[in-house]
Structure 1
Amino acid sequence: MTAPAEARRLRFLPSGTSIHKLSAVLTLCLLITVFSFTSSAFFSVNNGLTVLLQTSVIGLLAIGMTLVIITGGIDLSVGSVLALSGVVAGLFIKAGLPVVPAMGVGVLAGAACGFVNGFVITKMRITPFVATLGMMLIARGIALQLTGAAPISRLGEAFGELGNGTLFRIVDMQANGFPKVIFPGIPYPVILLAVIAILGAYLLQKRQFGRHIFSAGSNEEAARLSGVNVDRTKIWTYALSGGLAGLSGMVLMSRLVTVQPNEGVMYELDAIAASVIGGASLMGGVGSISGSMIGAFIIGVLRNGLNMAGTSAFVQMIIIGVVVIGAVYIDQIRNKT
């Protein structure tokens, strides 16, 4: 076979990333099929919206985590940053700041934590694992210290709008005077996740910054020699991860209509699992937002299906742990081939 013919043939062969993403889609379809037999309510509209709502927080975290993993790093602090961002927003609301600006300050607090992570990693040359582990403890400690480990409540109805509001909700008023919900509507967190996922994919695939993220993760030295400011790229990538963790905190705390400084524990593991299941390589240089969304929905469907099947929370932890190990093992096999 001639070289041009061989090149044309290889161009149409699926890449390892495509195969990994396809296997993730098949896994998601398999889980949906299995759980549909375990519970008749699994395929209901309300449960479908519940899965979307539950996945929105992990999905937002997974987008930021994917960006970090592509650079060859890791962010173990997102769960604690989520809690700290919620606490900051709650305290500002209590101080009299309107809800929307207060939430904006909370997101900025998350981005600031991420910026510090990036600075420590690039300028102080601390490994991402240690740097973000330290931030995980610092952010959680600050959140607990500021609140005395007590929840912040009575934040007003407007605070719960982001997490509990819906679009296209259809309600029919019956003859007896009671409303009947025809369609519960699309939750705002789901719409927010879709918008952020589209923007994240656009950033990675169409913008120079996205190409720099891939370059830094694929070969850092080669990226430097080609003119990429690797340190700046990493700092802003971690800042994005922190900002998205802050946004996740706004969504989660809004759903609860209460700020809980203990929320977000172990969420970083779900975010890492979603990213790796979706095809992101812990070695760096490989990953996609679409794959991470598939991974997030696998985690969400798995948790929802197990809950409906009456599986205990402890067994769920075991199953999720096995899934994480399996995903990383597949990633290692892929890197060896």
Structure 2
Amino acid sequence: MMKHHFSALVLFFSIFCGTTTNINAQERPLKVTYTVNSDKTVAFEYEKTDPGSYTVILKFRQLSNCSESDEQELSAVHYSGSLLTLKPTDKERGIGFSYTYASIRGKLRPKYDADFIYILPCKKGTKVKVSDVGFLGAKYFGNTTPEDWKVYKFYTQTEDTVTAVRKGIVVSVKDLYETGDANNAVYSSKVNEMIIEHADGTLATYKGFKHGSIAVKEGQTVFPGTALGINSQSNANSKPGIILSVSYLKSTEGIGLEGKTLQNSKSLYGFVTPHFYTDGNANEVLAVKQEYTAADSPDILKKEFTKKELKQRIK
């Protein structure tokens, strides 16, 4: 006889606002259901409204008459689809099971090109000054800075357009906070942001948009140089800027465990140090406190285009 079904979802994700890697409860982005078939197999499926990729951690608290492992790390890329089908060891009897599940944004341990060349997040010809953004988790929460932590802030003299550094799909947009009355706070979690997922599974997180300026929608495909919105001041004494990180899901360790808090958590995401195409250098790792001028080339802009997209651009 099948055991009672228990389901629980906990969403973990990283916040990159010159902040800490954070763990927050959110509304469910993904729902897991199951069907018991006439041949006694059990099919697990998912549905989600978020256009981005997720990794689902399916944990069986009890599992009998089945040889599958007690914990599964599964990929959920589309808006709905199949996750796993349990098959009975003894085909004459049903499978007994109870389970929980959790989900986290991103493809787990994707194969990405660490030398991929991005363009700067601003219009061609724009000058930007670059600074490193520190890991405030170490300062405020006692956490250890991830070894590969790399988050940049790009400053402009006046408010200016923020552009996509690479082709991708907009998977999250948050435009919630007024930015016209910047105060003197050193740090605030109330920032407007978006996440763009690239084809190789990396995630570009942009933070610091002027309220009401975001020009793209979730699910939209953007290209290098696509206008995303306008940057803003983080406080009254700063120049307008945008924070950018490129990350990837490297671990699901501890997801769903009781007692996992901001203080004892580790980053589940790895960070990429991007190489940029700039005016005067076709492959540059940025140095802090330096000024760079945005540039591009046909090869950089069209590198990830499909044949259909190339034809559309030629017309």
Query: Scaled by the length of structure 1, what TM-score is found?
Result: 0.22
Richer in strand (by share): 2
Richer in helix (by share): 1
Query: Scaled by the length of structure 2, what TM-score is found?
Result: 0.23
